[in-house]
Chain A
Amino acid sequence: MNRPEQQNSSIDLNQFNQVFFEECAEHLAEMEQILISLADAAPDSEQLNAIFRAAHSIKGGAGIFGFQDMTVVTHVLESLLDQIRNNEIPFTTAMIDLFLEAGDVIAMQLAGHRDGCEVRQEAIDQIRTRLRQVIDGEMTTAPVAVDITAAANSACLHADGGPRFYELLFTPAPDIFKRGVRLENLFSELEDLGELTATAQPTISAGLDENLDPEICTTCWKLTLVTTASEADLRDIFEFVADENQLKVRQIVSPQAAPIQAAAPGSAPPSPADSTQNAPCGTALIQAQLGRRAYDKNELAPGAYGRRGGEGEATIRVGVAKVDQLINQVGELVITQLMVAQTAASLDPVLYENLHRSLLQLERTTRDLQQSVMSIRLVPISIVFSRFPRMVRELAAKLGKQVELKTIGDSTELDKGLIEKITDPLTHLVRNCMDHALETPDTRIAAGKDASGTITLRASQIGGRIVIDVIDDGAGLNRAKILCKAAERGIPASDSMSDEEVWQLIFAPGFSTAEAVTDISGRGVGMDVVLRNVQSIGGRVQIISEQGKGTRVTVSLPLTLAILDGLSVAVGSEKFIIPLNSITESLQPLADSLKSVNGKRVIHVRGEYIPIVPLHELFHLKTSVTEPEKGILVLVDVDGEKAAVLVDTLLDEHQVVIKSIETNYRKVAGTAGATILGDGRVALILDVASLLEMRKSSAFAQ
């Protein structure tokens, strides 16, 4: 019986590895995001430190988890970054690309360990050599000149009212504590002025003994302060605390020293602190401070206990499975609460007033709890958007196009599961824009447009759905070309089709109008995959295009995969949930509003003829209500397509937890999952779009 235990321990190790993989991927993404955001400018020390931290963490993690090969590249990268950080090597824009490539190599190694992907050793060796070369100073010297001007500029700034360095020697009177002076307040006031370091020295020469009076101050403080404030300001703070002879203030640097040092060839832009390095006296302390690793700096700050600096909000890394379990359990709680409420509803409201009041409270609390728990899974779409700037930048360079990428609504939140699944389709769409839609600068100028094309990614929440638009101002779709290509590929199409129908043709498998197949796109595997992926998560794709002006592809997704507002309806003995966001209205039809077209029944509502979809026919259910005038018609609208679903009666409106049928069974046509009703029974949730599809295919079959 040792076997299971062994298995457990190996699983555990894998779990740790998994954590490393996740962290490593996050660090890589962070690094890339910073590099891209630089947009060819030199990074500030904060950004440089963040990149360094990322590389350092990857290296550390790789070492701990025994992925020695991953430490090789990260080590060289880290050394280089460290030298840049310490201004030993000037930063050049060429390094951005180099770092990006290094990131790719590390990502490749990561994928190799995680998914068993192929790892190309020569790429690893190559990037290592190139990083080495930079460290060994084989970079061109040209960018240094730029750095010097920058340095001079910053040095000039520094001279006019930049921060100054003070050394304060504070020897308080022995009775200072008895006077009720609080030194910590004093120091925090100084800290408000600038960067403060304090060193305490005991003034008694004898060792500590029992006679030591804790109320007598036997310490003097040596303080260094970097501030723009004047000496008088500093003395003000000590006004009621220290006499003239108890406080000595000394300014320790002459600002003029800075420009001379900064102008030295090959030196990088100095931070104000740097300029003190050659100053004659009193700099040892400051230098020592500079030598500390930058990420240690915030470690002593309040709230930073045990954390590295630069990490903004406090977060906890929790496995998705745990969150899902929580969501499930809360779902169960909601169901139980409903069951209790249903039972209690039959009790006399006067006799059981307290019970009813408590139940109302319980309902509110469970709803709130459910909302909070659901929101755990929501993440901002910027996670997806952030990967596009780099892709666009690289593709634009490859294709010789000028492209500007705009993102709107980065903070729109959607379910983590959706984020993972929407990434690939969006990548396809952006690639398509780059390759097919946007023209080269010459063509654009000839067409009277700006040489640089624009791709806009826009995310927003509209009702119960997340809508993501990929908009370009390129050439637009070519109707004639698409029809011609469709005919060539044997895809059924005709000239009489509306524009919308023609645009839908590009979703057909194997369809591509690109004249040349490039390594970016053109193999025609794009759009059908996009459509399939989006549909698999309950989304829809819509295209609006105008020739010469551009194209807008709209992907609309459900807000979350886990919860839904629905209307419960009954057909025979079965109950179904219709998603509320697809319902426009419900009505009891009058006999004279019902018409027949080609033997199919339609209902006439406010000037529109809407086809009737009898649910019992589609699902082969037994019910006494087979005629529309005896039942209820639920008017639904899915992306402009309307239908009237015939059901027996309407029951109630619920917020339901979506459960997958597919976990234990297979996909059921016409449904988007199942839920558990207040009585503990299962009800299927209807997928209106797929219902309409069913109706069409059954109509064709007849």
Chain B
Amino acid sequence: MQSVHETANNNQMGLPSEYLTFTLGNEEYGIDILKVQEIRGYDTVTHIANAPEFIKGVINLRGVIVPIVDMRIKFKVGEPTYHEFTVVIIMNVLDRVIGMVVDGVSDVVALAPEQIRPTPEMGAALDTHYITGLGTVNDQMLILVDIEKLMSSEEMQIIDHSN
């Protein structure tokens, strides 16, 4: 929770926050860098019985069982192919470690609050509900995602909502 406050604080104080940018299909997304634990290649996953298709399964990350979500399948963008260049972003969200398969990781960018615009109602692959704003970097639009909110949502089916 600390990092959330820090980001919020930086924004309030007018300091730039850093985002990790990645591509999904033709769109460029950004998530809070403080949520990212590491980036690694795609490894063999163990299939989880009766899980939704976009949950590829679980991997062994140095002794920790980590679920892998393929965002390309979830949001029906890009080609869900797996090869040596397939990238998994390992994130620390909601006290959990979750891996996310994306088309590619591009950069880390710093965005000052004035560079971030509110989200208009539009048809991004992601529901605008999870989008905190739009940034502009080198004339390219960056969709900023509240990854914590997205991963905890019911539609991701990562967290048990029945309890």
Contact = CB atoms under 8 A, between A and B. Distances in A.
Contact of A674 (B58, B97, B160): B58
B17 to A, nearest CB: 15
A4 interface: yes
B96 interface: yes
A659 B65 contact: yes
Interface of A: 3-4, 7, 328-329, 331-332, 335, 574-575, 618-621, 659-671, 674, 676, 680-684
Contacts of A335: 63
Contact of B158 (A332, A620, A665): A665
Contacts of A328: 63
Given A666-B158, A666-B159, A683-B46, A331 B63 contact: yes
Contact of B58 (A329, A670, A682): A682
A560 to B, nearest CB: 18
A213 B83 CA distance: 88
Contacts of B49: 618-621, 668-671, 684
A493 B48 CA distance: 36
Contact of B60 (A7, A665, A671, A681): A681
Given A661-B48, A666-B159, A681-B60, 15 more contacts: A328-B63, A335-B63, A618-B49, A664-B96, A665-B48, A665-B58, A665-B67, A668-B49, A669-B49, A669-B50, A674-B65, A676-B65, A681-B46, A682-B57, A682-B58
Contacts of A668: 48-51
Contact of A3 (B6, B44, B64, B97): B6
Interface of B: 2, 5-6, 9, 44-51, 57-60, 62-67, 96-98, 157-160
B66 to A, nearest CB: 5
Contacts of A661: 48, 58, 65, 67
B116 to A, nearest CB: 22
A575 B98 CA distance: 22
B125 to A, nearest CB: 23
Contacts of B160: 662, 666-667
B65 A665 contact: yes
Contacts of B50: 619-620, 668-670
Nearest to B6: A3
A668 to B, nearest CB: 6
A680 B65 contact: no
A662 B49 CA distance: 14
Most buried by B among A3, A331, A575: A3
Nearest to A622: B47
Given A665-B67, A666-B159, A684 B46 contact: yes
A659 B96 CA distance: 14
Contacts of B63: 328-329, 331-332, 335, 659, 676
20 contacts: A7-B2, A328-B63, A332-B62, A335-B63, A618-B49, A619-B49, A619-B50, A620-B50, A621-B49, A659-B65, A664-B96, A665-B65, A665-B96, A666-B158, A666-B160, A669-B49, A670-B49, A674-B58, A680-B60, A682-B60
A4 B2 contact: yes
Contact of A664 (B44, B45, B47, B65): B65
Contacts of A671: 49
A684 B57 CA distance: 11
Contacts of A662: 160
Most buried by A among B5, B50, B60, B159: B60
A186 B32 CA distance: 76
Nearest to B157: A666
Contact of A682 (B65, B157, B158): B65
A667 B49 CA distance: 11
Contacts of A659: 63-65
A698 to B, nearest CB: 10
B60 A664 contact: no
Contacts of A664: 64-67, 96-98
B70 to A, nearest CB: 14
Contacts of A329: 63
Nearest to A667: B160
Nearest to A665: B67
Nearest to B97: A664
B96 A682 contact: no
Most buried by A among B9, B58, B64: B58
A8 to B, nearest CB: 10
B60 A676 contact: yes
A635 B160 CA distance: 32
A681 B66 CA distance: 12
B94 to A, nearest CB: 10
A484 B124 CA distance: 59
B62 A674 contact: no
Contacts of A663: 64-65, 96-97
A449 B9 CA distance: 73
B157 to A, nearest CB: 7
Most buried by A among B48, B49, B57: B49
Most buried by B among A4, A665, A669: A665
Contact of B48 (A4, A680, A684): A684
Nearest to B63: A332
A574 B47 contact: yes
Contacts of B5: 3
A329 B45 CA distance: 22
Contacts of A666: 157-160
Contacts of B158: 665-666
Nearest to B94: A664
A243 B45 CA distance: 89
Contacts of A665: 48, 58, 65, 67, 96, 158
A680 B43 CA distance: 11
B26 to A, nearest CB: 30
Contacts of A660: 65
A264 B119 CA distance: 91
B152 to A, nearest CB: 11
Query: Considering the complex of A and B, which 7 residue pairs feature the smallest CB-CB distances, nearest first?
Result: A619-B49, A682-B46, A666-B160, A665-B67, A664-B96, A676-B60, A332-B63
A669 B44 CA distance: 22
A666 B5 CA distance: 27
Contacts of B62: 332
A63 B19 CA distance: 48
A660 B160 CA distance: 14
A667 B159 CA distance: 9
A660 B51 CA distance: 16
Contacts of B6: 3
A662 B50 CA distance: 15
A244 B61 CA distance: 82
A694 B98 CA distance: 27
B12 to A, nearest CB: 13
A65 to B, nearest CB: 25
A331 B60 CA distance: 13
A666 B162 CA distance: 10
Contacts of A575: 46
Nearest to B44: A681
B118 to A, nearest CB: 27
A670 B96 CA distance: 22
Contacts of B64: 659, 663-664
Nearest to B98: A664
